[in-house]
Structure 1
């Protein structure tokens, strides 16, 4: 999935910028007078001082008895009482995390307990690789013996994970799988033939990690006797070459990246028997051009759960496999005329007889209960609204918890329903906004992160049965006061009907004071990709929301409209862009501009557009196909031809280029470069491992051939997120100046 906040260690921290080597002053017009004195928002507030960064609760882990949770506090693990939020004891002090012979304790990046909470895994010196993958030095801490030991001396490890009984730890290193016996600290290799850019055991390849969110590709069995893992044979996947700029001769970084229509990794599933030290290969079918996006264990010993989808991703199958023989059976199938989303919603009940899963088979994502043979027992939720997240099942009480958009497509709230599909209850306080929850394992309590469009998050502990408040852990009161001091203005939500009869949702951020009869320039912002949503009653990130507040202080109206193809409104609205990405989205954004331009406060001759990633792609299309509607536009890290993007994402929404060439070519901005009229800024990081710099090179070439004037910024060695050091400050200064000069 293309997204602007992406981690790529190799190219993420290098210095050096082109086109604007010296810091430039932000060209700001005089701020209009307001009724109350306010402070002006600056880019330094966003990118240097962190003036508007919301506080949260970090390092939170539920303890197994449900009465306590633990959290990191100044490098120590501290236990807190759930009912009061007060610290009750320090579980591990910083001095206890000092390795033998070391002068200083380790700097803790993360930690986890084993099942009985007597042992802990600590990670330190963590190196991000891609978006979700990391390598780190892991240490094992025995609480009873108060002893800290390195997990391995053979180099940094990835995805270290306790076995459920706490006797072993499995991890991946250099594409091979290992198990460490914690009684003897003996390390046993499970595989030995892993090789960089050829064969991976136990960790996702680039495209699985990016699109299926698979980094750790192994799972311990509930009885700790077996370890299931996926292997990725990348040998036939074409390599992509990134160059790291800086030395006299740039360095090459080559990695496997399957572009649309190209070969994928061939995957296999194996199960390793820890005591017998033997491996069984599971039968996942004779077809090799397929995906295995999820692997988990059922509640039945020796029964593995494997999810399989075809390359076009319009058929998802659930396989149950006997790990003694490797034999598998398809027990459940979900199909769609467009595509079936892969989720983490599958749950096997402890009774060993049923599983719960979500599906869009009735037009909206809902929760279903099946028996182990795939026979429907009960549809638990139903209606013209989306289940956005399945939280889990409290089997003791026979209740399922989930987040949904039932109250409004723009909101998310926590609900509970019984396993007969009855007695649905909304938990928490009535009102608007969006809730994100972290439920305790026993469902007695949950951590609630509540926010609204103009309200930073409040983190609270709540009762899992009635949703009543136990304690507020973070209210962000200082940030709310700071927002008042800086004169933040509320978002205004609206909806309108297009000429095609489609209702679209949007919101605006306007200057605090608007003179009657005065026309204001409008900047439209979008992402617009399949299933995404930007128009939400939710506190947005500092990156965009606060910048929009700054622009409003300078006399701009910022408008956001979610086009067809976005989420929260059912499968038909989301999937209508299938096989023709960019077409309906561009039409809808054009309709939005016409609607906004007709407002009495809008200067329809001064409308601009800004987008990043998929939004950068749509901004490029808008500036060409809808050239007469926009005075200026900014595309950051855009896809300009879906043939350049990866297999899983591109083919999910467009089929393969071999099957749907027109879907790839008819809405590529490269094809419409000759239509550009307005002022245009194109931005990309040369170290973008996700949306390759190649995309902007191709569009640049097309614009030059069409003899079009435009501006360009490229950031050496920066990834898809374009950050590190002063990078974001520099980028947003350039974008601000561009808008002030051209819009």
Structure 2
């Protein structure tokens, strides 16, 4: 619908503004220029990956290689991986390191599903041994993610969650009941992916001993039929699509223990007609944080669940007479003291950061004023400084700021007018 609306607006503009349509001798703008050739799409750098040493970042070179660059000079200092040197992979769409930075997970032959989700062939590269192996030989995977140690990778296939040791070839299913249009393990349904903006429905615990994951039971959700015009004869695509007021999938949060093989359901309350827009491990590997939102979306709670027993308690709640904006990955950021988290909330009418002591249930503002914070950029644990973007200078400009968690020492990092965001080195001494 948005694409159709854009085309209508474009056609109307060609009639309203003859100088665009070529009547004044200028080059005519075509629909193909915009949507097929992307002539007006601004150029962007690939997303840099800051390295642990604090002075380098890694960058993809057109999906052919991963090169190392200096934060200080911007110069290339080395090469970490070149796909053209290995069989079975000529190029890749994305990459990520494990926490030890000894292995790289590569995404190849990506096939999109919805807005965020896709299936792909993943490979793992060992930087020390210079060995490249496929993640799995049993079909394409979704949402592959390293364990904290980098020795294992979790992924989703056919609505089931798996764990793999790619260098031994050992692959183990965590769940067995996944089925199309019935049960989804480790990934969101269409509603959660589209409305809450995420596609990975599982999280490794900080110590790598557990995996928390979503389970969607959508057997009672009504189906939507969509005609797909990909070939000469269209196909009929069926998927579970609850319209407004209809029954949603029943969502539960499970925790899998790698040592015992047990799966424990977390207590998210008796109400099933609700949303769980985010889960996140705290710095305590036995405490899982769960955000719970009522269906009307005007009452949000943050639960702390015991990963061993499944019992939970509400540590924070917030209400609004009208609406609470969707939770994001940085609605809650836990600090290493295991007493505080940084909360991004619209509780005073504007988006701002707050420091919340969940042991004493005490909240204090970090940022304040008649402007919106745009997003979380990073937290410098050593200096106790929060880095973020906001519209403080103007609603038409976004700038990078930093501030201490007690609300003092605020300073603007970006200097030029316009729209700015930043990627910081691990030690926060440099940024791009």
User: TM-score with structure 1 length normalisation?
Assistant: 0.54
The within-5 A match list for 1:535-550 is none
Helix, strand or coil at the partner of 2:124: strand
Shift, 1:283, TM fit: 0.7
Q: Does 1:219 align with 2:208?
A: no
Q: Which residue in the other structure is 2:382 paired with? A: 396
**Residue of structure 2 in register with 1:62 after alignment:** 50
User: Which 5+ residue runs of structure 1 have no aligned equivalent?
Assistant: 6-25, 100-104, 448-743
Question: How far apart in 1 are the matches of 2:381 and 2:47?
Answer: 27
Once the two structures are superposed, the pairs formed by residues 348-367 of structure 1 within 5 Å of their partners are 348-367=334-353
CA–CA distance in 1 between the matches of 2:236 and 2:418?
47
Shift of residue 47 of structure 1?
Answer: 4.6
Q: Distance in 1 between matches of 2:104 and 2:372?
A: 38
What CA RMSD, in Å, does the superposition of the two structures yield over aligned residues? Answer: 2.2
Alignment of 1:309-708 (within 5 A): 309-341=293-325, 342-345=327-330, 346-373=332-359, 375-429=361-415, 431-447=416-432
- The number of residues matched between the two structures is 416
Output the CA distance in 2 between the equivalents of 1:3 and 1:284.
Answer: 36
Asked whether 1:139 is paired with 2:123, we answer yes
Residue deviations 1:591-639, cap 9 Å, x none?
xxxxxxxxxxxxxxxxxxxxxxxxxxxxxxxxxxxxxxxxxxxxxxxxx
Aligned position for 2:275 = 291
1:208 is paired with a residue whose SS is helix
1:93-115 residue CA offsets vs partner (Å, 9 max, x unmatched): 2334323xxxxx33211111111
For 1:267 and 1:371, how far apart are their aligned partners in 2? 28
Q: Secondary structure at the match of 1:171?
A: strand
- Give yes or no for contact 1:96–1:146 (8 Å, CA) kept in 2: no
What secondary structure, in the 3-state scheme, does the structure 1 residue paired with 2:214 have? strand
Q: How far apart in 2 are the matches of 1:378 and 1:414?
A: 22
**In 2, Cα distance between equivalents of 1:28 and 1:49:** 24
User: Residues 4 and 359 of structure 1: is their aligned pair in 2 closer, same or farther, counting only changes over 3 Å?
Assistant: farther
Q: Distance in 1 between matches of 2:280 and 2:261?
A: 20
Q: Which secondary structure state, in structure 2, belongs to the residue aligned with residue 402 of structure 1?
A: strand
- State the Cα distance separating 1:73 from its structure 2 match: 1.2
CA contact (8 A) 2:72 2:430 kept: no
Q: Return closer, same or farther for 1:238/1:162 CA change in 2, 3 Å cut-off.
A: same
Q: Is the 8 A contact 1:170 1:178 kept in 2?
A: yes
Aligned 8 A contact 2:298 2:324 in 1: yes
Q: Which has more radius of gyration?
A: 1
Shift in alpha-carbon separation, 1:374–1:333, aligned structure 2, 3 A: farther
Partner of 1:590: none
Q: Whose helix proportion is higher, 1 or 2?
A: 1
Aligned to 1:42, which of 26, 29, 44? 29
Separation of aligned partners in 1, 2:50 and 2:25:
42
1:187 aligns with 2:171: yes
Deviation at 1:250, TM superposition (A): 4.3
CA deviation digits over 1:348-389, x for unaligned, max 9? 001212100111111111110011236224210111111111
Give ranges in structure 2 of 5+ residues lacking alignment: 5-13
Tell me: CA distance 1:422–1:174, structure 2 relative to 1, closer, same or farther (3 Å). Answer: same
**Which residue is 1:81 aligned to?**
70
Partner in structure 2 of residue 523 of structure 1:
none
Partner SS for 2:431: strand
| Shift in Å, 1:219 | 0.2
- Could you tell me which residue of structure 1 aligns to residue 8 of structure 2? none
Taking structure 2 as the reference length, what is the TM-score of the superposition?
0.91
Preserved contact between residue 71 and residue 425 of structure 2 (Cα < 8 Å): no
Q: Cα deviations across residues 644-673 of structure 1 (Å, max 9, x unaligned)?
A: xxxxxxxxxxxxxxxxxxxxxxxxxxxxxx
Q: Does structure 1 retain, via aligned residues, the 8 Å contact 2:19–2:26?
A: no
CA 1:293–1:263 in structure 2 vs 1: closer, same or farther (change >3 Å)?
Answer: same
SS at match of 1:436: coil
Q: Assess, with a 3 A threshold, how the Cα gap between structure 1 residues 390 and 59 changes in structure 2: closer, same or farther.
A: closer
Query: 1:262 and 1:124 mapped to 2: Cα distance?
Result: 37
Secondary structure, counterpart of 1:446 in structure 2: coil
Q: Say whether 1:178 aligns with 2:159.
A: no
Matched residue SS, 1:438:
coil
In the alignment, structure 1 residue 281 sits paired with structure 2 residue 265 = yes
8 Å CA contact 1:138–1:150 kept in 2: the answer is: yes
Contact 1:319 1:328 in 2 (8 A): yes
Match of 1:95 in 2: 84
SS state at 1:138 partner: strand
Q: 2:135 aligns with which of 148, 151, 162?
A: 151
Could you tell me which residue of structure 2 aligns to residue 72 of structure 1? Answer: 60
Q: Which has the higher strand share?
A: 2
Q: Map of 1:212-251 to 2, 5 A cutoff?
A: 212-245=196-229, 250-251=234-235
Residues 186 and 41 (structure 1), Cα distance of their counterparts in 2 relative to 1, 3 Å cut: same
